Amino acid sequence: MAPEAAPGAMAFDASDFELRSPDPDPSIAPAMFEMPDITDAAVAAAPETARTLQPADAPTATPASVRLAQIKEELTAWLKTLMSAAVYAVLIVTFGFQVARVEGQSMAPTLEDQDRLIVNKLVYRIGDPRRGDIVMLYYPLNPDKSFVKRVIAEEGDTVRIVDGRVYVNDIPLKDDYVASEYRSHDDWGPQVIPEGYYFVMGDHRNNSSDSRHWGMVPKKYIIGKVQLRWWPVPTARVF
């Protein structure tokens, strides 16, 4: 039973009351409930350490691995050096100098059997052989063989031999390098040396196969000038 209202008091009906949630303030709601916008620029501006995970324990090189790397570098450097030396040696032998060995006595007493020589191959690439030069040449009848002889006459010269005595352009050849016991007594010529050819002889005149027997030598068959005898050491000399 509901109590009666006191005289003069206002009467309230419970139905007049309604529980409602308060309306949110529009100016506050975005600040309270919206997440901040994270842009690419913000990520780029972040510290590097914040974006990159660093391992706790970075691997370190051991002394053995460092030494192995040093050995590999040294071997590589040596290999490059050896290859360069081989290339230089090929170039020198092909275009510059060549080591040769005397076989036989055809140039005695100037050169003896088994003497070691240095042949200058470059000199005749920029010039021509001259009378008196000791040269290394390909044997005209068999270019697989090579000889060492002395140039006696050049192209255009007239050569004549009388009783072993050599005349070039009717002038006796000064050949005091020929020992008396090595002189020959043959006759040859006279003959004019063709253009581009040379007349060669060995200093051991009575024991030499040379232009008297197989003719003139074309310049293209002359390998180079004998520049040095380096062995035996006691008789080493420059020509």
Which residues participate in catalysis according to the annotation? 106, 149
Query: For residue 38, what are its two tokens?
Result: 């994270």
Q: Give the whole-angstrom CA distance, residue 226 versus residue 124.
A: 11
| C-alpha torsion 168→173→177→181, nearest 10 | 100
* Preceding amide of 232 cis, omega within 30: yes
Q: How many residues does the structure list for the chain?
A: 239
| C-alpha torsion 13→15→16→19, nearest 10 | 130
